Amino acid sequence: MTPAEHLCLPNAQDVLDGLMATKIAAHAADIAKKVPHARDMDDKMGQARRKLDWDAMWKCALDPVTGKKRYEESPAATEGTCTMCGKMCAVRTVNKVFEGTTIDLGMED
């Protein structure tokens, strides 16, 4: 199923988007059915996210090309944080706390 289905002929991007949605749904179903090793890549992705290890995340992603493109378009590509939170990145902050680093979020008491 593509975003263009029943509206017009799908273009190449529509087909890719439909394929990725199908892959994600199939992966979720495998996890729900407890297919052996279905969670392995998800667990690796979680470990990579905890470390903010973007290269490892690309290797775990179902669509690494789109993920990398989105990352490179975000300010996080230069800040070393997640693509959503910037300086307020919870993962980055927790990692710094575990390292014993003093955290300054720029908030006053």
pLDDT score of 107: 63
Q: What is the pLDDT of residues 32-45, one digit of tens each?
A: 999 999 999 999 99
Domain parsing of the chain, residue ranges:
1-38, 39-100
Q: What is the pLDDT of residues 6-33, one digit of tens each?
A: 889 999 999 999 999 999 999 999 999 9
pTM of the model: 0.72
Say how many C-beta atoms besides its own lie within 10 A of residue 21's C-beta. 13
Q: State how far the Cα of 86 lies from the Cα of 48, in Å rounded to an integer.
A: 17
